[in-house]
């Protein structure tokens, strides 16, 4: 880590860019407000398409402008969705791709849940201070949620999640990765909580 910082300092002095990868951890939501006391009965299939939840965030303005911050939420988002929805459905089976409605009965499933990443937006601002700078980040996530039963569409909804975080800029602006990871983690939790709330409160799934 120390050698990476020294390398980035040398590159920054040479007006070259350094990439600090933000790595948010899985952020499931367990405090989901539901109108029902029991889980949704039966077996449900779940497919998650999270490939669009990867981007690179660059600082606005001139502060730390030589740096960039790759942000990849695919793995952590998939884990967050699965862990959250396991508390909403009695039986959940994760599948690699959506299963057609005419094949649900053969698999003993009541429906097919598809959570698809639609858009990710990240913003990073550098706030100068007297002795040090602060990195302020905001992450916004948009997902598309659909549920198909054996006889047709049961639910369709667009779900959003957003959050902000701050961290000291630190040595050679590496603090931006922590701030971005924190904001992304909270945005994921906000998003999956809304997903669980939409599913858990849907009368057609009961």
Nearest to 54 by CA among 68, 69, 74: 74
pLDDT value at position 61?
A: 81
pLDDT > 90? residue 7: no
- pLDDT tens for each residue of 70-118: 999 999 999 999 999 999 999 999 999 999 999 999 999 999 999 999 9
Mean of the pLDDT values across residues 158-185?
A: 95
**Whether this model's pTM surpasses 0.85:** yes
What is the reported pLDDT for 17? Answer: 59
Residue/partner pairs of 73-77 with CB below 8 Å, 24 or more apart? 73/24, 73/117, 73/120, 73/141, 73/184, 73/188, 74/50, 74/117, 75/50, 76/24, 76/25, 76/26, 76/27, 76/185, 76/188, 77/48, 77/50, 77/53, 77/117, 77/188, 77/192
Alpha carbon distance 203, 206 (integer Å): 5
Q: What are 54's strand-pairing partners? A: 72
84-94 as b/e: b if 16+ CB within 10 A: bbbebbeebee
Task: Report the pLDDT value the prediction gives residue 101, as an integer from 0 to 100.
Answer: 97
Whether the pLDDT of residue 1 is over 50: the answer is no
| Distance between CA atoms of residues 5 and 118, nearest Å | 34
pLDDT at 2 over 50: no
Return the sign of the alpha-carbon dihedral for residues 43, 149, 100, 32: negative
How much is the average pLDDT of 8-27?
Answer: 68
Question: What is the per-residue pLDDT for 132?
Answer: 82
Copy the structure tokens of residue 43: 């077996």
Tokens of 140: 């916004």
CA 156 to chain centre: 19
Residue appearing with tokens 């367990």:
30
Give CA–CA dist 8/2, Å, rounded: 10
Per the CB < 8 A criterion, the answer to whether 176 and 69 are in contact is yes
Give the residue among 133, 158, 126, 154 at the shortest CA–CA distance from 58. 126
């Amino acid at each position: 880590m120390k050698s990476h910082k020294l390398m980035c300092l040398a590159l920054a002095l040479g007006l070259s860019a350094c990439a600090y990868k933000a790595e948010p951890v899985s952020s499931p939501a367990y405090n989901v407000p539901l109108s029902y006391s029991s889980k949704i009965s039966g077996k449900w299939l779940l497919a998650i398409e999270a490939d669009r939840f990867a981007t690179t965030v660059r600082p606005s303005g001139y502060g730390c402008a030589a740096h960039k911050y790759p942000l990849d939420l695919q793995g952590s988002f998939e884990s967050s969705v699965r862990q959250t929805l396991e508390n909403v459905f009695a039986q959940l089976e994760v599948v690699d791709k959506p299963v057609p409605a005419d094949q649900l009965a053969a698999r003993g499933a009541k429906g097919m849940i598809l959570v698809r990443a639609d858009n990710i937006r990240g913003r990073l601002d550098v706030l100068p201070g007297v002795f040090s700078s602060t990195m302020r980040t905001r992450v916004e996530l948009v997902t598309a949620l659909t549920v198909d039963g054996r006889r047709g569409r049961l639910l369709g909804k667009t779900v959003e999640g957003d959050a902000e975080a701050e961290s000291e800029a630190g040595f050679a602006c590496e603090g931006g990765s922590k701030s971005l990871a924190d904001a992304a983690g909270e945005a994921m939790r906000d998003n999956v909580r809304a997903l669980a709330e939409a599913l858990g409160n849907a009368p057609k799934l009961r």
